Structure 1
Amino acid sequence: MATKTFSFNTDPHVATVNGMDLRFQAEVMGDEFMDAFGELRDAQKAAQGIDLEDLSTLDPAALRGAARGLRGFLARLMLAEDAERFTALDVVTKEGQVLSTHQDWDEAQQAADQVDGARAKWAMPMPDRILVALMEWVTELYGGGADARPTGSSSASARALPRGGKGGAARSRSKA
């Protein structure tokens, strides 16, 4: 009788961004990942048609919506504490004083609208290139990409073979 043992990853995946660790769930079940990915796709559909070559047609609200969708996708896959930090929005004055912190963009914007010159901004600002790189990384982790593997070392990993003896005496074709 053949027996095969399977186990779940138990250690969270960690992405270090500018010295700050963002912890992602050790395992994400298929439906959970696909639901989060579906929400991201919906946010990106709303931003379709943006032509960065012709900025006169740029709809900032659509672009912001796509960026919020990307943050939401990543946050759904993070551990709760890190997701809360990652999606926190500060309402700040012109001078940069934080008036309040919110988890919802519309709520933060409403609070900012009540104070002259205040605005809502991400408490953890992050360049879009980093957000996109994080999205690609978690898609590989949870979507079954080529690099999907448990974090840390594995006792089942093959060890490198020791190099023994001398190198071969054959001539390389590239040197011929």
Structure 2
Amino acid sequence: MARKSFALRTESHVAEIGDDIELEFQPEVMGDEFLDAYEALQDTYTELGVDPSNAAGMTPAQLRTTTDAVRAFLAGLMLPESAAQFDTMRLPHRVIVALLEWTMEIYGGNGGQRPPTSSNGSAAASPPRGTRGTASSRSKGSTPARGR
């Protein structure tokens, strides 16, 4: 009989921001909870008709709405005290995006990629193979032998 043990994380995940801010995230988030929260975030993107990876292509109103949705997603994964602190915290957009990516890594369980329910989670196509060059080799092994 094969046996495998699985440990459950009991200590909070901690995001350190600056020198004196620590935000604590739930030690474990059940798969359905995570996917439900992620689905709500994706629904916001869909309703707005935006690509979350292209902030430059969003209007200020779309960017504000998506940032609010990301903040709500993140707060839902935090411990209550940290969520309350985060709610009033002003942070650069890059930090919010980094927090989102980090939570995807720790809770999504697939190396930071989007959950498998996302249509954008597919692997990129391999680049086409190049053609072989036609230059002659300079190695001695490919030169004709003389005197035979």
Whether the TM-score (by the shorter chain) exceeds 0.5 is yes
**Residue matched to 1:146:** 111
> Which 4+ runs in 1 deviate beyond 4 A?
none
Counting only pairs closer than 5 Å after superposition, residues 63-82 of structure 1 correspond to structure 2 as: 63-82=63-82
Structure with bigger strand share is 1
SS, match of residue 16 in structure 1: strand
CA distance in 1, matches of 2:77, 2:2: 35
**Cα distance change on mapping 1:49 and 1:14 into 2, 3 Å:** closer
Structure with bigger helix share is 2
**Cα distance change on mapping 1:63 and 1:47 into 2, 3 Å:** farther
**Counterpart AA for 2:30:** M
Please give the root-mean-square deviation of Cα atoms over the aligned residues, in Å. Answer: 2.2
C-alpha displacement of 1:61: 3.0
CA distance in 2, matches of 1:133, 1:3: 37
**Counterpart AA for 2:79:** L
SS, match of residue 124 in structure 1: coil
Counting only pairs closer than 5 Å after superposition, residues 95-110 of structure 1 correspond to structure 2 as: none
C-alpha displacement of 1:49: 4.8
CA distance in 2, matches of 1:82, 1:14: 10
CA distance in 2, matches of 1:17, 1:47: 30
**Residue matched to 1:39:** 40
In the alignment, is the contact (CA less than 8 A) between 1:46 and 1:62 conserved in 2? Answer: no
* Structure 2 alignment gaps of length 5 or more: 113-148
Structure number with larger C-alpha Rg: 2
**Counterpart AA for 1:44:** Y
CA distance in 2, matches of 1:83, 1:129: 19
**Counterpart AA for 1:136:** E
**Counterpart AA for 1:127:** P
Question: Deviation per CA, 1:108-134, whole angstroms, max 9, x where unpaired?
Answer: xxxxxxxxxxxxxxx210111111111
Counting only pairs closer than 5 Å after superposition, residues 1-176 of structure 1 correspond to structure 2 as: 1-19=1-19, 20-49=21-50, 52=56, 58=59, 60-87=60-87, 123-146=88-111
**Residue matched to 1:106:** none
**Cα distance change on mapping 1:12 and 1:65 into 2, 3 Å:** same
CA distance in 2, matches of 1:74, 1:45: 19
CA distance in 2, matches of 1:79, 1:66: 22
CA distance in 1, matches of 2:29, 2:22: 19
* Structure 1 alignment gaps of length 5 or more: 88-122, 148-176
**Counterpart AA for 2:40:** E
TM-score after normalising by structure 2: 0.64
Identity over aligned pairs, percent: 44
